[in-house]
Structure 1
């Protein structure tokens, strides 16, 4: 990770199921047939609606990425020089961990070719003094870079992609090996955590990474689904990277602004 790399369960479901069984047991045969017919039509209609959903194109996703003026205090870059250009450049030693590695590299965590990414950096130059001292210079380099990836899916592909991320957090709890753009890294631990959230579904997780024997650093990532589009976020703090330790969490202002553009 020297460069870029990096569900809700409802108790009401049990109550609802119990209520449904009670109502069904008390209904007549004709009621059952009527209800079954309505449920069948409703399910068929919902399935048809889901299957009709088409993914946005990469060009359309590019227009939805955060840009200058969307978030105060940040500069923007296409990310072409820092992010892997394709999934083939990001490999793990556990297939279940692939979605996590892709999400932290600004790539689509699921099966789609519709993908766009950029990066945002805190702009501290505007607050720098005319004659900076050593402390000012050190502070100027204490910035964070946030990688943002957008991906879009046909049908229920986005929901399936989010499930692979959720499953990956569990399956890869003890870590995984990673090679990105020819550079090897070792993720020693993966754990779910609370992120900024938003959208229709959100999954946040932290990855602890072995820094070439110089201790470890913990990075934070988040995937948020809005309809059939998923936004991923991954932040690297240069100061923390140099010293090892805890990275900054993904800036709430950035996450919130990006999710808002997808609605």
Structure 2
């Protein structure tokens, strides 16, 4: 992502946070999920083993995956939204200059990292509305800065026939090694350069997990570090990718994928 994209997302998030605070008694009604089958995912980089899905495994439908996504009220201290305004609509909107890096790019966009059409995704963010002012007259510069200090996690679910889920996780793992030196990325018309990819330890869980970090060039003004996790449970793969908008603006570290979000999402998978 380039800084221009980040500015757009930051503005959306900040305005949304303040608006929610100004709507008295409204914590968040945004538990609805997308009705389309497109979704995004984020990824993780530690590894567990074990293989629960077999050759006879059947993929869940996109509609079934939508029901398994986290909903409002299922993660204490977090808000859930459908992600329609922030997530790419399909894999065709996310392209890299190295085929081996495609699964990484898809996972960080809440899209299926493997070969499947069964996909769903949403976004989860820390709920800061209770600390925000309740009147526009009370909004200070510090309140505006605080509104940008939002951590947003893109969550994607995808499901596969047979051993497709294992292949999807392997594609991500292979991609981390193949793309360690970076790759070019074009998403929704914005171009950016990932300068480094590294495997790391994530929350883990499920039957297999892999986590990684990506350093992204900030238009020649330093780099920002993003973190992702990809976790398989049976023949469903969950992806997680986190952005902190305040850190993004400064070109810093986005921070880890929230363990509470990962644990809650895995708890809903069959």
TM-score range for the pair, normalised by the shorter chain length: 0.7 to 0.9
Q: Is the 8 A contact 1:125 1:140 kept in 2?
A: no
> Where do 1:212-223 residues align within 5 Å?
212-223=219-230
In the alignment, the residues of structure 1 paired with residue 76 and residue 139 of structure 2 have an alpha-carbon distance, to the nearest angstrom, of 23
State the partner residue of 2:184: 177
Q: Is the 8 A contact 1:110 1:161 kept in 2?
A: yes
State the partner residue of 1:226: 233
| TM-score normalized by the length of structure 2 | 0.79
| 3-state DSSP of counterpart to 1:159 | helix
The alignment yields a C-alpha RMSD, in angstroms, of 2.2
Distance 1:9 1:77, change over 3 A: closer
Distance 1:129 1:97, change over 3 A: same
Higher-helix-fraction structure: 1
Are positions 1:84 and 2:91 aligned together? no
Name structure 1 gaps, 5 residues minimum: 11-45
State the partner residue of 2:214: 207
Are positions 1:114 and 2:123 aligned together? no
> Where do 1:13-28 residues align within 5 Å?
none
Tell me the CA shift for residue 202 of structure 1: 0.6
State the partner residue of 2:66: 62
Name structure 2 gaps, 5 residues minimum: 10-39
- Over residues 183-228 of structure 1, what are the superposed CA-to-partner deviations in whole Å (9 max), with x where a residue is unaligned? 1010000000000111111100000000111211000000000000
Greater relative CO, 1 or 2 (CA 8 Å, sep 6+):
2
Tell me the CA shift for residue 52 of structure 1: 1.5
Indicate which of 237, 242, 249 corresponds to 1:235: 242
State the partner residue of 2:37: none
In the alignment, the residues of structure 2 paired with residue 183 and residue 96 of structure 1 have an alpha-carbon distance, to the nearest angstrom, of 20
- Over residues 54-74 of structure 1, what are the superposed CA-to-partner deviations in whole Å (9 max), with x where a residue is unaligned? 000000000000011111122
| TM-score normalized by the length of structure 1 | 0.81
In the alignment, the residues of structure 2 paired with residue 142 and residue 207 of structure 1 have an alpha-carbon distance, to the nearest angstrom, of 20
State the partner residue of 1:197: 204
| Count of equivalent residues | 227
Q: Is the 8 A contact 1:144 1:238 kept in 2?
A: yes
